Amino acid sequence: MLLLHGFPQTHAMWHAVAPVLARQFTVVAADLRGYGQSSKPEGTEPYSFRHMAADQLALMASLGFRQFHVVGHDRGGRTAHRLALDAPEALQSLTVMDIVPTHLLLDELSKDVAAAYYHWFFLAQPAPFPETLIGHDPDTYFESCLLGWGAARLADFDPAALDAYRQAWREPDTIRGMCADYRATLQLDFDLDAADLSQQVTAPALVLYGAQGAMAQAYDIPRTWQPRLTQVQARPIQGGHFFIDQNPGATADALLAFLTGV
């Protein structure tokens, strides 16, 4: 099983969930390109979800896993969806957490979503503008992101995990990599997804989302995925966007209930 984190976190986000899953599965938790301890190439093109998905496919192959379950939250969920489109033969199942499809969000952008997810457009501005502003006080900026998408307090995050996030996001190259991730979404991923709108993921799929999160307030999240996933289950978890941190037990239970039935 491959676990993929989202913005602005690292693989440390799975600290309370991975041990539960590891009782039944071999668990691999990776940092996405540009995040944590993974590589941070120059430019924008290397940060497309296609490149990020290829990274993870190569990682799993190098560990001897030609087929696996993939679970992704936020940017990790978008990477997982792209992996499912580009390498369907590798997937045993797909789980995406608290996202709607990338193309849908951008193509049908509402004012409420634009206000809640303003960071998509701020981070995508040309370098070095967002990097410079964030670099003056990374903790204030990224902690505002942790608290900004529904029902979260700083106390919801494990102190050791928070320390890991802070160590990562204080690095200038990590700030640059995260900005490049969002630039790639507007410059590359939207068009790649537009080309694949008719392609469906046929592997068993699970959609989990925060019941009090910004996405759940703006969308019928399960319905947004129905045209893209042929075998889909959906379930809300109490909490906001970061429900994995807020409610790890319920998250692990939902994953195991789905995965043991695949």
| Catalytic positions | 74, 241
CA angle 122, 78, 215 (to 5 degrees): 65
Length of the chain: 262
- For residue 260 the two structure tokens come to 């043991």
For every residue of 193-253, DSSP letters joined together read: HHHTTT--EEEEEEEEEETTSHHHHH--HHHHHTTTEEEEEEEEESSSTTHHHH-HHHHHH
Strands 2-4 and 28-30: parallel
Query: 234 - beta bridge partners?
Result: 207
If you ran DSSP here, which 8-state letter would residue 189 be given?
A: I
CA 127 to CA 77: how far, in whole Å?
Answer: 25
- Tell me how far apart the alpha carbons of residues 255 and 253 are, in angstroms, rounded to a whole number: 5
CA 246 – CA 250 distance, rounded (Å) = 9
